[in-house]
Amino acid sequence: MTDIRRHMEDLRKKLKEYDYHYHVLDQPLIEDVLYDRLLHELTQLEEQYPEYRLEDSPTQRVGGEVIEGFGKVVHQTPMMSLSNAFSEGDLLDFETRVKQVVGDNVSYVCEFKIDGLATSLEYEQGVFIRGATRGDGVTGEDITLNLRTIEVLPQRLTEPKNIVVRGESYLPRAEFIRLNKERALTSEPLFANPRNAAAGSLRQLDTTVTAARRLAFFAYTLVTTAGNASTQLEALEQMKMWGLPINPHYQRCTSMAEVFEYIQHAQEIRETLPYDIDGVVIKVDSFDMQQRLGFTAKSPRFAIAYKFTAQQAES
């Protein structure tokens, strides 16, 4: 075997061992940046020597795709990302674009942007049947078993509805601190922030590891209009009635001035919240207007995320 081929074999073996330790044992052996460097080296070698590329190589997983061990879930409706606003001017530009399509009489709903892992849930006749990560937006990882360990997530709704719901799985700050203290005692690498800890916990192949972490969830989008909600505000109320956890800080705003006040308030109380938020999501309230506004290739035209500056380092 040539030296190159042997080196590639060695890289594949190492990366598979790192994958196993990360996803099954929840004990990463190396920093993500080192893993990515090795994966990049193997990818380049496989491009240079395709005759030595193997089907089950770790490089055959594009970023955001399903990792080995999790089933794939194709989202009925793609999980889009939000376009970002960083100033009041950006929000006024957003409002101008919205009003050009739907006219001046538009109201918004403002909600906290939870800093966690975007998650999709499917309920059939009111029973939770499947949950998935966003993945690449079209295909996500089936993390149903892990999501079942989240106590606030109802296994059954109060009504036998067929719905698809989007929300954020997250790790409360107090749990993040407890978890890192525990990991420090056993000399395991610490999680950098609650978002990484939530993602690492949900992408575990061993559900007992996930169950040991007190993950939580907030629902924020009712994808299927199984009820009779015609606005985002009604959808939030409807999901709450069905037993889904809804973040209580949502507010209907009838002007951008009110949105600015909401953002100001969110920034003032941000540090006191038991979970991380990284901004505010502003949505056009009317579903009819949302439909008329539609989507760009990657984001809805009827919603935008106002991003806060980064929080000081997690304790």
**Residues known to be catalytic:** 113
Binders of ligand 1X7 in range 22-51 (CB under 6 A): none
Tell whether residue 111 is a contact of ligand 1X7 (CB under 6 A).
Answer: yes
Segment contacting ligand 1X7 by CB under 6 A, of 16-24, 54-62, 65-73, 108-116: 108-116
Q: What is d(CA 203, CA 141) in angstroms, rounded to the nearest whole number?
A: 8
How many residues of this chain bind ligand 1X7 (CB under 6 A)? 10
E-assigned strand segments in 145-231: 163-170, 216-222
**Taking the complex as a whole, how short is the minimal distance between the CB of residue 10 and ligand 1X7, in angstroms?**
40
**Taking the complex as a whole, how short is the minimal distance between the CB of residue 278 and ligand 1X7, in angstroms?**
8
Give the per-residue contact string, 272-291, with ligand 1X7 (x = CB under 6 A; - = no): ---------x----------
Supply angle C-alpha 113, 118, 119, rounded to 5. Answer: 130
Of 180 and 221, nearer to ligand 1X7 (C-beta) is 221
Asked if residues 312 and 278 have their Cβ atoms less than 8 Å apart, the reply is no
Between the alpha carbon of residue 157 and those of residues 126, 166, 200, the distances in Å are 5, 15, 27
Say which amino acid occupies 126: G
Asked if residues 141 and 67 have their Cβ atoms less than 8 Å apart, the reply is yes
**Taking the complex as a whole, how short is the minimal distance between the CB of residue 305 and ligand 1X7, in angstroms?**
7
Asked if residues 292 and 102 have their Cβ atoms less than 8 Å apart, the reply is yes
Binders of ligand 1X7 in range 154-193 (CB under 6 A): 168
Between the alpha carbon of residue 49 and those of residues 2, 40, 52, 54, the distances in Å are 11, 14, 6, 11
Tell whether residue 81 is a contact of ligand 1X7 (CB under 6 A).
Answer: yes
Tell whether residue 75 is a contact of ligand 1X7 (CB under 6 A).
Answer: no
Give the per-residue contact string, 112-151, with ligand 1X7 (x = CB under 6 A; - = no): -xx---x---------------------------------
Of 146 and 221, nearer to ligand 1X7 (C-beta) is 221
Spatial CB neighbours of 196, under 8 Å, sequence gap ≥ 6: none
**Taking the complex as a whole, how short is the minimal distance between the CB of residue 189 and ligand 1X7, in angstroms?**
25
Long-range contact set of residues 266-271: C-beta below 8 Å, sequence gap at least 24? 266/110, 266/112, 266/308, 267/308, 270/308, 270/311
Segment contacting ligand 1X7 by CB under 6 A, of 44-52, 91-99, 110-118, 198-206: 110-118
Of 205 and 289, nearer to ligand 1X7 (C-beta) is 289
- 105, with CB counted inside 10 A (0-12, 13-18, 19+), is exposed
Q: Which of 35, 70, 191, 220 binds ligand 1X7 (CB under 6 A)?
A: 220
Tell whether residue 222 is a contact of ligand 1X7 (CB under 6 A).
Answer: no
Interaction site with ligand 1X7 (CB under 6 A)? 81-82, 111, 113-114, 118, 168, 220-221, 281
